[in-house]
Amino acid sequence: MKIWLKKAAGLALAMMPAVAQAEGEKNVLAIGGSVTEIIYALGEGDRLIGRDSTSSYPPEATGLPDVGYMRALAPEGVLSVGPGMIISEDGAGPPETIEVLQAANIPFITVPDGYSAEGIVQKILTVGEALDVEAASIALASDVRMKLQEAEEAADALAGDAPKRVLFILSTQDGRIMASGTNTAASGIIEMAGGVNAVTAFEGYKPMSDEAVIAAAPDVILMMDRSGDHFVSDEDLFALPAIATTPAAQTQSVVRMNGLYLLGFGPRTADAVLDLTAALYKG
């Protein structure tokens, strides 16, 4: 009861009939890990009143109310955190929820995906515009652009003529290898780090047959470092028949990195590129 009263009160204060954005108001809902990171990087983290389940960085973000998985948002749940504005990565849903939010006259700004340096810059600028802090966003964007350029050049240098073939595996549950084809965040970061996506036959994250994995002949396996049920130990990984005969298995080359850090395509990506390059070529 108390929570509801608090929220109702907060709501009454925050939601005056004409929904005008006063500057610096604490009423932004961030959806998507990279969006949240960008907002904090712009120094506007105080304006957040909620986030989604993928927003795990920085640690302060996890203290905010979690509206759940971004493709399965509940309309009243979203409204209950009292958003005056929603900034979201591409792909939020379901469509019915988005429609209700629009009917409630809440500005919904979609930040386009982009698995490249330019993509990240665009994200930062879009978020900056939404939050009305364009000066800060331009500064952050150029800083990020510079770091990314340096990282990519370093990566190219290390790769030289023999870039490593990298296979990104999303999961091996049920014995099915879900891997990344082209046009994904994983593919993007691999290219930026001086590697080559071992898979070019399809787009998106799809299950691959064992023979296709063998034919891809990756030098390195790249995975997210998940704990709990999704965790696959090196031993189990290389024991899989599809993987056992790959060059990666022969050199026992597997790289694990935090999912949001590696694939988020946000302010930390330059560092992620450097880390990945190091892991690929010096590890």
Of 39, 61, 79, 232, which lies in the binding site for another protein, with binding defined by CB under 8 A?
79
Site string for another protein, 3-42 (x = CB under 8 A): xxx-xx--x---x-x-x-----------------------
Minimum distance, C-beta of residue 255 to another protein, in the bound complex (Å): 20
The answer to whether 160 contacts another protein (rule: CB under 8 A) is no
If binding is defined by CB under 8 A, does position 53 make contact with another protein? yes
Angle at 183 between CA 177 and CA 189, to 5 degrees: 85
Query: Residue 82 in contact with residue 10, Cβ under 8 Å?
Result: yes
Q: Work out whether the CA dihedral 76, 82, 84, 88 comes out positive or negative.
A: negative
Q: Is position 105 an interface residue for another protein (rule: CB under 8 A)?
A: yes
Asked if 103 is part of the footprint of another protein (rule: CB under 8 A), the reply reads yes
- Taking the complex as a whole, the smallest distance from the CB of residue 27 to another protein amounts, in Å, to 13
Using the minimum distance from each CB to another protein, give the nearer residue, 103 or 162: 103
Is 201 a residue that touches another protein (CB under 8 A)? no
Q: Interacting stretch for another protein, rule CB under 8 A, among 94-102, 122-130, 159-167, 260-268?
A: 94-102
Choose between 102 and 252: whose C-beta lies nearer to another protein.
102
Are 281 and 164 in contact by the 8 Å Cβ rule? The answer is: yes
Tell me, letter by letter, the H, E, C secondary structure of the chain: CHHHHHHHHHHHHHCCCCCCCCCCCCCEEEECHHHHHHHHHCCCHHHEEEECCCCCCCHHHHHCCECCCCCCCCHHHHHHCCCCEEEEECCCCCHHHHHHHHHCCCCEEEECCCCCHHHHHHHHHHHHHHHCCHHHHHHHHHHHHHHHHHHHHHHHHHHCCCCCEEEEEEECHHHCEEEECECCHHHHHHHHCCCEECCCCCECEEEECHHHHHHHCCCEEEEECCCHHHCCCHHHHHHCHHHHCCHHHHCCCEEEECHHHHHCCCCCHHHHHHHHHHHHHCC
Residue 211 identity (one-letter amino acid): E
User: 20, 59, 63, 76: which one contacts another protein (CB under 8 A)?
Assistant: 76
Check binding of 256 to another protein (CB under 8 A): no
CB of 106 to another protein, least distance (A): 9
Report the residue number, 26 or 134, with the smaller CB distance to another protein. 26
Q: Confirm or reject binding of residue 212 to another protein (CB under 8 A).
A: no
* Beta carbon of residue 154, minimum distance to another protein (angstroms, whole number): 31
CB of 195 to another protein, least distance (A): 21
Binds another protein (CB under 8 A): choice among 24, 58, 62, 71:
71
Size of the site for another protein (CB under 8 A): 43
Residues that bind another protein (CB under 8 A): 3-5, 7-8, 11, 15, 17, 19, 50, 53, 65-69, 71-72, 74-81, 91, 93-97, 99-100, 103-105, 170, 178, 204-207
